[in-house]
């Protein structure tokens, strides 16, 4: 047994955390290739390397996936200091190359010289599709940086191959990502690029993107649904997600056939981003004026948000709660109480549903089964959860209000 334990310990040395081993890079200049400061790592790697996010068989494993900043031409290299097969017989190392080949499209290189040739050609790269919006972001070191948002589709020459390279980032940055069927012409693609200068030439770097699927709504409308959205790590925290979502929203608002805009299984971060963008858009609507907010959520708000901004009732309600908080004097006891009751009334919906289910259960469950379910629906627990939900919502709303104030 001691020998077996020793063997296990030695083999354990050949396990590598794939979130650390995978090294991603967006390369603008040849010197970036050896510059560790330009490297970033996945948030997730379980979809490629399993739930444990571990690769077996190597010490000092480094899986390099380097992309030219514009066209995303790819360098793929595997490096390691030691491999298990060099020390042990009858032990197989994971086939790293096979796993990576499953997600990156053909056309990559394993040769740095070839990659540098790709980098030279990146000077000719131009964004795909139609320009929707341009904006600037102030950078402490570089000053004003210019960004552009484009709408593209699969009819754009070269875009399909570019998208195949771009979507590989999903596997590292979104927990439950999957590749889409890009042959379906109901997809729209929205891309963010940084526009920058290099040796007197204007170049473009990929920043992030969003995919939107256009669903049919009877009898003659469509419902765009956001499917995927990422901002690449070197650009995160600079406001690009909000710029992208607002530009996309304004684009669909300009289309008469669009009924409303939704999202597929949105993450908590996406919901917060959407709340901010929709509140920014709604705050100037007459029905959301401060004096009207204090009178409660109205049909006028629902109608104006839907007709002018393609916002559905559920999302309009959240915007109302955020703007009403801004309009409420929380030091005034009556105003604070009215606001608290108004938000809790919405939050209480799921608990009210539980009460209705309990009444049904009383008619069909045995006493011992009923006791079990009643324990899950304890009134005191419900009140505590309701208060917790309220405080979390208000905390989120205050952050949105602060962000709106900082952008004013």
Tell me the catalytic residues. Answer: 264
CA atoms of 60 and 81, how far apart (whole Å): 5
CA atoms of 230 and 259, how far apart (whole Å): 25
Give residue for tokens 């919502």.
393
Asked whether 402 and 279 are in contact (CB, 8 A), the reply is no
- Least Cα distance to 248 among 276, 304, 210 occurs for 210
Cα torsion for 358, 363, 364, 367, to the nearest 10°? 80
Phi, psi of 211, rounded to the nearest 5 degrees:
-110, 140
- Least Cα distance to 65 among 48, 52, 83 occurs for 48
Q: Which two tokens stand for residue 165?
A: 């390279």
CA 5, 7, 13, 16 torsion: positive or negative?
negative
Asked whether 109 and 125 are in contact (CB, 8 A), the reply is no
* Segment holding 370, helix H or strand E: helix 367-376
CA distances from 8 to 66, 86, 88 (A): 34, 16, 12
Residues with Cβ within 8 Å of 271's Cβ and at least 6 positions away in sequence, in order, are none
């Amino acid at each position: 047994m001691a020998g077996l334990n020793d063997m296990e310990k030695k083999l354990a040395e050949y396990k590598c955390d794939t979130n650390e081993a995978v090294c991603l890079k967006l390369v603008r200049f040849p010197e970036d290739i050896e510059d560790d400061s330009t490297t970033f790592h996945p948030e997730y790697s379980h979809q490629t390397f399993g739930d444990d996010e571990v690769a077996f068989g190597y010490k000092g494993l480094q899986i390099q996936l380097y992309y030219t900043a514009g066209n995303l031409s790819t360098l793929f290299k595997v490096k390691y200091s030691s491999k298990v097969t060099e020390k042990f017989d009858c032990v197989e190392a994971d086939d790293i190359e096979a796993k990576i080949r499953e997600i990156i499209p053909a056309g990559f290189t394993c040769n740095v010289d070839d990659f540098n040739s790709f980098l030279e050609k990146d000077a000719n790269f131009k964004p795909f599709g139609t320009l929707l919006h341009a904006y600037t972001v102030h950078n402490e070191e570089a000053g004003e940086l210019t960004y552009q948002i484009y709408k593209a589709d699969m009819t754009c020459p070269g875009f399909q191959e570019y998208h195949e390279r771009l979507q590989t980032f999903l596997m590292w940055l979104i927990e439950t990502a999957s590749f889409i069927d890009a042959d379906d012409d109901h997809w729209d693609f929205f891309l963010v690029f940084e526009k920058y200068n290099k040796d007197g030439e204007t170049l473009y770097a990929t920043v992030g993107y969003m995919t939107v699927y256009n669903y049919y709504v009877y009898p003659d409308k469509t419902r765009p649904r956001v499917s995927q959205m990422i901002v690449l790590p070197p650009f995160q925290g600079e406001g690009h997600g909000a710029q992208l979502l607002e530009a996309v929203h304004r684009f669909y608002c300009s289309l008469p056939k669009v009924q409303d805009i939704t999202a597929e299984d949105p993450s908590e971060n996406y919901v917060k981003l959407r709340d901010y963008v929709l509140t920014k858009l709604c705050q100037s609507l007459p029905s959301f004026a401060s004096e009207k907010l204090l009178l409660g959520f109205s049909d006028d708000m629902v109608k104006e948000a839907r007709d002018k901004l393609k916002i559905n009732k559920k999302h309009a309600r959240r915007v109302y709660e955020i703007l009403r908080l801004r309009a409420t004097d929380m030091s005034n006891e009556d105003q604070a109480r009215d606001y608290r009751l108004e938000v809790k009334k919405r939050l209480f919906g799921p608990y009210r549903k539980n009460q209705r289910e309990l009444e049904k259960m009383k008619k069909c469950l045995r006493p011992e089964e009923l006791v079990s379910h009643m324990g899950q629906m304890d009134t005191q627990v419900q009140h505590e959860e309701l208060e917790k939900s309220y405080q979390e919502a208000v905390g989120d709303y205050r952050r949105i209000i602060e962000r709106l104030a900082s952008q004013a």
